[in-house]
Amino acid sequence: MFRGSITALITPFKKGAVDEKAYQEFIDWQIKEGSHGLVPCGTTGESPTLTHDEHNRVIELCVEVAKGRVPVIAGTGSNSTAEAIQLTKHAKKAGATAALVVTPYYNKPTQEGLLQHFLAIANAVDLPIVIYNIPGRSVVDMSVETMAKLAEHENIVGVKDATNDLQRPLRSRMECGEEFCQLSGEDGTSVAFLAHGGKGCISVTANIAPRLCAQLQDAWHLGAYEDVFRIRDVLSPVHDAMFIETNPAPVKFGASLLGKCDPDVRLPLAPLSMKAKARVEEAMRGAGLLN
């Protein structure tokens, strides 16, 4: 259903508020640079510190600019099942293509709890759902067995896998089937993930290198592996720099160097340190992203 380079969009801020103009211009640039899809209100979009009104508005702004040119997979997850249902209903109403629903954080549900949480959302809203499995942030790890049960539901169509376990896509493909869409949530291992059965990457780096990220994915699907490996090597230092401090502070600073937005993040995230800023700029220059 989905493939290629799908950008986990930043949410630009100006003087504490969502910078709607910068955001919509940024989305249009992303599409023109070749990104294959967009994810508003994910982790990189600072969804934990968006108000509900802001969250809904950011999704609406994204859908409005995308105009069906690329899929919009709206982040609608929560550690409250009722809240996740509410956010997913709004995403459907706004015209999103699908919803990205994170495993419930902090609550530490069992596998049965995860199963019931996702089934409740899938039964409540007729919208394709991509499971977002990110144990490093949510503390819980959805097992392949649980995911296979969920994959039987017609509305649950894939996973964003941020486990960084490269055996996972192989096992998931065998248990969930070829039609279950597996997307990497880790830029640094995205090529290896493709080799193990993935269809694409929901990417942080694509915020500042959309063309290169899209070209890498296109080259893979065309079987142009020399191009894949060349672009992989060019982007590798950039991937590392994007996580030198907590995401999305590094990538927002990188976007500010491109003149796309202010580098502001919301507390409890802190502005990037001077050392980290130098590292981001150096990596971007090395990849040819800055003149």
Active site residues: 132, 160
Cα 99 to Cα 78: distance, rounded to the nearest angstrom: 12
Distances (CA, A) of 87 to 10, 74, 100, 232, 258: 19, 9, 11, 35, 32
H-helix or E-strand containing 225? helix 225-241
Report yes or no: 182 and 148 within 8 Å, Cβ to Cβ.
Answer: no
What is the three-class DSSP state of 242? coil
- Write phi, then psi, for 71 (nearest 5 degrees): -65, 145
Report yes or no: 134 and 162 within 8 Å, Cβ to Cβ.
Answer: yes
Cα 44 to Cα 51: distance, rounded to the nearest angstrom: 15
Tokens of 93: 């109403």
Q: Is the dihedral of CA 173, 68, 122, 117 positive or negative?
A: positive
H-helix or E-strand containing 216? helix 210-222
